[in-house]
């Protein structure tokens, strides 16, 4: 086989660029033009926006728990961190709403006759436990799925894998941390505290109420 110096490197760069385009394409339209570098805080949306922006710019690869009322900019911050993760290229970024993730699990089960189709969900606790690549996991609206025992179990398992394997985690919620404990305890008393501990340990918490 003829070896052409440089070809491999070019092919690899081209692949990297198409993966990057694909990952950036996952950003919802309304946040597509936003970046941490260009964002201008708006105190009318929430007085803490400026402080949060400074923290996120200083350490975009850290774990964040962003809670607060509607319209304070939580989802916007989440997607700007996602963009930063894509551009930083150090971690594999995956972003979901909790409902979207659970829907993906459900369709994987439906398609595989109640057995999980391994090709389907891209983000599972097993994937995170077995990956040699570090992930950056973005979970929007972690309180929005109805808290059944199944939901609490899936959320716990995922967060446990993220926590144990040092993946990045950014979550948003409309509930303060204490209410999030009650939310998941409603499903199963074993999970409320355990879930919220994994959300808050090694994480910076911002509450915008």
Q: Which residues bind ligand ADP (CB under 6 A)?
A: 30, 40-42, 45, 49, 68, 70-76, 172
CB 85 within 8 A of CB 128: no
Site string for Mg ion, 27-56 (x = CB under 5 A): ------------------------------
Residue 139 or 162: the one with the smaller Cβ distance to Mg ion is: 139
Question: What distance in Å separates the CA atoms of residue 70 and residue 55, rounded to the nearest whole number?
Answer: 21
CB 36 within 8 A of CB 84: yes
Compute CA distances 3 → 8, 9, 13, whole Å: 9, 12, 18
Q: Which does 76 bind (CB under 5 to 8 A by kind): Mg ion, ligand ADP, none?
A: ligand ADP
CB 172 within 8 A of CB 141: yes
Q: Which does 183 bind (CB under 5 to 8 A by kind): Mg ion, ligand ADP, none?
A: none
Residue 87 or 143: the one with the smaller Cβ distance to ligand ADP is: 143
Nearest approach, Cβ of residue 170 and ligand ADP (Å): 12
- Rounded CA Rg of the chain: 18
Q: Which residues bind Mg ion (CB under 5 A)?
A: 74-75
């Amino acid at each position: 086989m003829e070896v052409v110096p440089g070809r491999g490197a070019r092919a690899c760069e081209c692949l990297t660029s198409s993966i990057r385009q694909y990952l950036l394409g996952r950003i919802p339209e309304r946040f597509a033009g936003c970046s941490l570098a260009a964002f201008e805080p708006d105190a009318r949306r929430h007085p803490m926006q400026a402080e949060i922006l400074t923290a996120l710019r200083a350490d975009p690869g850290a774990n964040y728990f962003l809670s607060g009322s509607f319209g304070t900019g939580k989802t916007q911050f989440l997607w700007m961190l996602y963009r930063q993760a894509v551009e930083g290229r150090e971690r594999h970024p995956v972003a979901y709403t909790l409902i979207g993730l659970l829907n993906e699990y459900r369709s994987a089960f439906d398609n595989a006759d109640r057995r999980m189709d391994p090709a389907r969900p891209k983000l599972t606790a097993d994937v995170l436990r077995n990956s040699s690549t570090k992930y950056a996991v973005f979970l929007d609206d972690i309180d929005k799925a109805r808290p059944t025992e199944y939901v609490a179990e899936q959320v716990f398992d995922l967060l446990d894998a993220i926590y144990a394997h040092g993946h990045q985690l950014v979550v948003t919620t409309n509930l303060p941390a204490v209410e999030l404990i009650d939310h998941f305890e409603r499903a199963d008393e074993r999970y409320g505290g355990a879930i919220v501990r994994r959300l808050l340990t090694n994480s910076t918490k911002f509450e915008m109420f």
